[in-house]
Structure 1
Amino acid sequence: MLRIFQLIFLLGSLHVQLNGVGAFDGPHIRLLDGDNECSGRVEVLRHNQWGTVCDHGWDLREADVVCLDLGCGLAESALHGAAYGQGSGEIWLRHVQCSGHEASLMRCATVLHSDPHCTHLNDAGVKCSGTLLMPSLSLLSPHAVFVAGEAVRFSCTVLLGHHLSDFHLYKQGVSTPLVTQRVDQSQTRVELTLTDLETFHQGSYSCVYRIRGSSPSQLLASPPSNSINITVVELLTPQHWYNTSTEAPVGSVIKGQGFNITCVTKQQYPGASFQLRLSRSNGTVRQSLPALTPAVTFTFSSAQSSNEGYYYCLYRVQLGGRTFISRESQPLPIAVRDPDPVLSPMVISWLVSGLTFVVALIIIIIVAKVLCQREEKPSELERETRTCVDNTYVALSINKI
């Protein structure tokens, strides 16, 4: 029962100041005699007359409401004792109590049973930031280099969290936010995650928060935070081909002759390299060359049996402490063939036949010369023999032709 009476007493001590709210369609609050338009003595308009606010219970919660209402950011200080000079006329509000989330001082509660003794020596004042505080952006992901398809996580933080509506993640050069996260009014930190990264997402990022102004439809945007750069790596599958002598059949090289394999990619990164992998029956052999240009050639001066197998090209790059390797290219089969013999069997057969004919011809000529050099008159047998030799010589000559 005691708690019920305490609750009734508490509710009776607070009174929501709603009288005359509908009359404030125009400006209903202003700051006077300050250093700029966002500092000064607080005055409110009531019954078409400007009056001041008593500083009883005046703190940063009430000052924040004033600053936000005027589009002056957040309160840096809530001032007491007519710090910006004494006003004149009525003291319209005494002992205002705001939660900090109201759209206007006129929406705040006032304590009815407080000390009513206020003079213009108690006029309240505020000093506003002029603009909203800059948020801070940090990278939650353990690295700043990503491969396409991964996600990056940021954290956006603001020191003071009043009237917060949402946080936005912006990429430099893009006018619309890539990520938006709504928050509770008092939440000062939010995680912003960008998923399914593409090369388009590479660049510089900053975050912005928005707060609610004097009306639910009025949103004030903070200045952008610090910037964070991310890199998105997209490694394309390399292409490859090989070159060798024209005598070699397709898909093969001739043993002892030179050949080369060229790897090429359309996407290039600094410090990258090409790796050529040879898969053969007795294991795998790898070699690499720096990718100073989009195409790199691996040269083999003398093809051996150990060069036979399936060749694959890969593209490899190290960025931001991470190693990225592309998919392997399609297999390139290469066989090593022995060279063809210098003399084919047909050529050898022709050479043997020709050599036999020459030897036979030489023998016949020698025999003929010996017979012709005899000093005696040739007998009838010798003449016949010589005639036979001559005829044979002629016949052999005709056959040669």
Structure 2
Amino acid sequence: MWTQQRNFFYLTIVSYLFASSASAEIRLAGHQSGLCSGRVEISYSNRWGTVCDDDWDLNDAQVVCRQLDCGTALAAPKKAHFGDGSGLIWLDDVSCSGNERSIIQCQHRRSGKNSCTHNKDAGVICSGVPVRLSGSTLCSGRVEIFYNNTWGTVCDDNWDMNDTEVVCRELGCGTAQSAAVSASFGEGNGSIWLDDVSCSGSESSLTECQHRGFGTHDCTHSKDAGVVCSVILPKPRIFMSHAGEVEWRSDVSITCSISPQSQQLLQGEFTLKQISGSFSQKKTSTTNSATFKILNVDFDKDGLYQCEYSHDSSISTSDSVTVSVTVSLQQPNISVTSPDGGLVEVPDGSEIISGYSFVFTCTNNENYPGGVFNLILYGSNMKRTKHTKPSVNNSASFSFPVADFGHDGRYSCVYETTLSARTFTSPEASSIHIIIIHSIISVLRCVFLPLILLLENIALHFYYKVIKKQKSDKKENNETDVSRAEEVEAEEAVQEIE
């Protein structure tokens, strides 16, 4: 119990001394440290010491970054990330809410002799001293930095392209275009924070470059430095109202948009371009999107399209979308008639009596100019025959004056139209099966006539046979009569002799 009270008393006294000490300072040091990154060190009673990393987190780092005017905390490195310090370890078990103005205002305990070693020295990585451009565009203007809770300018002494390159990179802009001097973007006001800045060009922030120190200068605002950087624009998105194919002579809408990083980016220009054609439209937009309409689409609008977004001479290009112009033809209708009544409908199709005429009619409801109908015959021998006629009032008739057995097969219609040198073909109509049959007269002629002839021949045969027999019998009778007469005469002669 006494030990806990003693520790609490000791912590209270140390905290009070740190909180009330006007001489307590903070700095960042160590290997590869910078103005806003390094090992955290605190000076107390003119002696510099480190902070142990027990319970060290982003809230603690945020307080340090704020205290140093280094923006927001990006990381809270532990285990002597920036190298081992030396001397005393002033603080341990630091616990900040993140809102404190100084690290010594956070809850902590002073390290005991053996509770922590320098291989656990805490560090911070801050975003750096905030930098902005005061000008008309996102990536060009007068350079201003935020230090000691105040925005101030930079003197143009020794200001060059290396310094500009660092500022452009720090602001997320593109490459350095020019180093502006002599208050090219107008005179600022308030403090002049930096002078004689000398960057190698590889620094991550302007405050890491060599300079005379914050607030030390021999300038006036007539020498405020500025930069002109290219703009790294976000990649535009492209969206088409008709995904896939676009019907010929219809309208299509294509929308280009960006996700702006700044309101200043909303003052750019969208361009919709046909990659392999001549189509190009531009629109200046105060919002993050622009919609382009292509009316009455023809085949010359077929192809790939891209969106371009331009701002401050910088251009960003979207992915591409395909406008595929097509003609969707409906399935035509087909019917068959026989003007002279030679058509008989049967379950398997339509029977046409041999020798009679028949007519196929193909129709559709298309509104395309011109076009032809093809009547296709798939014969019994699987041979494909095509007859072609122009479409007149969405119809074409195919006449066959005399049906014969070569007309047997399945018939179908196909519609074709040629638009802008492209030919489009409809699906085939439902087929009609034509069966050619003999006529009644032909049946009689082919069946009964030979039978009649046969019967006639048989009748003639028997007729001549009867006639012949009759003649033979008559002859025999005549011969008998002669013999009988001779016998009578002989008998009469004998009687006379006697």
Larger radius of gyration: 2
